[in-house]
């Protein structure tokens, strides 16, 4: 983003990012471009040539995300059909047989599921926990360090700057999954990361109605390598999804501010419940992650996690909720929750709840949760 918007506040930037200059009798955000091929007379080195390579709707969205992830320095964003397409693009485009990748042992389980694929290609995968910057011990000889902070679903936090500096000293690239924080919550590129990766399915777009992912990098060669991967495997976003995502950015700051405040209110209320253990939210002053989170995050996100006594208790609680849907995602304007252990793959207890707080009135969310907890006893 250039001009006066480069130094604007988060709300202004969210509204205007990626939108073209005002033009008489034209919409402020052009509609989606549905195209598989373009008219290509003469020189084929044109901005747009084939629908799998690029699309004007992607371009505007990618410019917008770059302006949010890196408002003060040029960056390039590559959009994808889903968050996992973006994750896989970085992991699989940047390493080759004989390389070593360091993954968080407690990251999103679909990211960890790539371990077997990487190993089948001759890549060594080391796992270390997010908390305590434990990945520092696994960097020797690594090609790529993958960071997820806050982690999903446990909400542990690591020091991005410390890990990135150590990784670069060891000759490794650094990618940060920024899904839970969003670019308004933290800016991994400012903290030393080479890639900021996210599922736009979650809070970035925030309405639970589309799948999207993206990768942002400041190094043009790294961005180009990810873009080539997208072209090669065809993991492209639909133009309608890209347009809806861009449209949704206008309310990003409003949504994440409301969700962060609501999440903190819910977490504070849950502290008073004797059946609730393991309560986590990085915005709580006494949360184990709060000190590091406060140093590198500007907003603490919409997710609260906690544990109920057992599976049956957790299921009674979820069934008693009236405002909250049972769903396996987070970041939507509507509150959602799930018993995370039902999927397997995460080191959580049977009663572990991941609660994504929406934009409903905080007092209504808290009242609904407390009533459901009473009914679940």
- What is the average pLDDT score of the chain? 96
Domain boundaries, the chain: 3-249, 252-376
pLDDT value, residue 45: 76
Residue 306: name the closest of 342, 260, 339 by CA: 339
Whether the per-residue pLDDT at 4 is higher than 60: the answer is no
Which residues neighbour 118 within 8 Å (Cβ) at sequence distance 6 or greater?
91, 92, 95, 101, 125
Rounded distance between C-alpha atoms, residue 44 and residue 33, angstroms: 20
Torsion angle of C-alpha atoms 67, 336, 353, 104, degrees rounded to 10: -20
Model pLDDT for residues 194-228, shown as the tens digit of each residue? 999 999 999 999 999 999 999 999 999 999 999 99
Whether the per-residue pLDDT at 2 is higher than 70: the answer is no
Whether the per-residue pLDDT at 81 is higher than 50: the answer is yes
pLDDT value, residue 6: 65
26-33 average pLDDT score? 95
Rounded distance between C-alpha atoms, residue 269 and residue 266, angstroms: 5
φ and ψ of 265, to 5 deg? -65, -40
Read off the pLDDT band of 5 (50, 70, 90): low
Rounded distance between C-alpha atoms, residue 37 and residue 310, angstroms: 55
Read off the pLDDT band of 46 (50, 70, 90): confident
Level-2 CATH architecture, domain 3-249:
3-Layer(aba) Sandwich (3.40)
Q: How far is CA 45 from CA 40, 42, 48, 58, 161, in A?
A: 9, 9, 8, 18, 40
Residue with tokens 């590559």: 78
Read off the pLDDT band of 3 (50, 70, 90): very low
Measured in residues, the chain has a length of 377
317-322 average pLDDT score? 98
CATH of 252-376, one of 3.90.1150.10, 3.40.50.300, 3.30.160.160, 3.30.530.20: 3.90.1150.10
Q: Record the pTM.
A: 0.96
Reported in sequence order, the residue ranges of the chain that DSSP labels E, i.e. its strands, are: 76-80, 100-104, 124-128, 144-148, 173-177, 195-199, 213-217, 277-280, 303-307, 325-326, 336-339, 352-356
Report percent pLDDT > 90 for the chain. Answer: 95
Whether the per-residue pLDDT at 312 is higher than 90: the answer is yes
End-to-end CA distance of the chain: give it in Å, rounded.
Answer: 53
pLDDT value, residue 335: 98
pLDDT value, residue 280: 98
128-142 average pLDDT score? 98
Sheet holding 325-326: strands in order across? 277-280, 303-307, 352-356, 336-339, 325-326
Read off the pLDDT band of 41 (50, 70, 90): confident
On the question of a common fold for 3-249 and 252-376, the answer reads no
φ and ψ of 311, to 5 deg? -60, -45
């Amino acid at each position: 983003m250039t001009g006066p918007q480069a130094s604007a506040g988060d709300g202004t930037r969210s509204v205007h990012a990626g939108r073209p200059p005002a033009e008489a009798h034209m919409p402020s955000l052009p509609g989606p471009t549905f195209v598989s091929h373009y008219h290509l007379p003469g020189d084929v080195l044109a901005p747009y040539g084939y629908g799998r390579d690029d699309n004007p709707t992607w371009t505007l969205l990618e410019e917008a995300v770059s302006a949010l992830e890196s408002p003060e320095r040029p960056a390039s964003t590559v959009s994808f059909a889903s968050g996992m397409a973006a994750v896989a693009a970085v992991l699989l485009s940047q390493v080759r047989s004989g390389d070593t990748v360091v993954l968080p042992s407690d990251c999103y389980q679909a990211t960890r599921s790539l371990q077997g694929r990487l190993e089948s290609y001759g890549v060594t995968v080391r796992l270390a926990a997010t908390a305590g910057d434990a990945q520092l011990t696994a960097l020797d000889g690594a090609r790529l360090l993958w960071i997820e902070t806050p982690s999903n679903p446990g909400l542990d936090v690591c020091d991005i700057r410390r890990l990135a500096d150590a990784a670069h000293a060891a000759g490794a690239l650094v990618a940060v999954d920024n899904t839970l924080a969003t670019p308004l919550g933290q800016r991994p590129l400012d903290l030393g990361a080479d890639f900021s990766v996210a599922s736009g399915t979650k809070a970035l777009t925030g309405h639970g109605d589309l799948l999207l992912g993206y990768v942002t990098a400041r190094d043009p060669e790294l961005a180009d390598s990810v873009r080539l991967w997208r072209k090669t495997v065809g993991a492209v976003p639909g133009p309608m999804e890209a347009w809806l995502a861009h449209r949704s950015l206008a309310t990003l700051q409003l949504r994440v501010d409301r969700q962060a405040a609501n999440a903190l209110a819910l977490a504070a209320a849950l502290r008073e419940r004797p059946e609730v253990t393991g309560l986590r939210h990085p915005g709580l002053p006494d949360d184990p992650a709060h000190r590091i989170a406060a140093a590198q995050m500007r907003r603490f996100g919409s997710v609260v996690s906690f544990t109920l006594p057992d599976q049956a208790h957790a299921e009674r609680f979820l069934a008693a909720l009236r405002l909250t849907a049972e769903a396996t995602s987070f970041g939507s304007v509507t509150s959602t929750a799930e018993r995370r252990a039902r999927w397997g793959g995460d080191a959580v207890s049977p009663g572990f709840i991941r609660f994504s707080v929406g934009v409903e009135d905080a007092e209504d969310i808290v009242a609904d949760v407390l009533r459901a907890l009473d009914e679940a006893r």
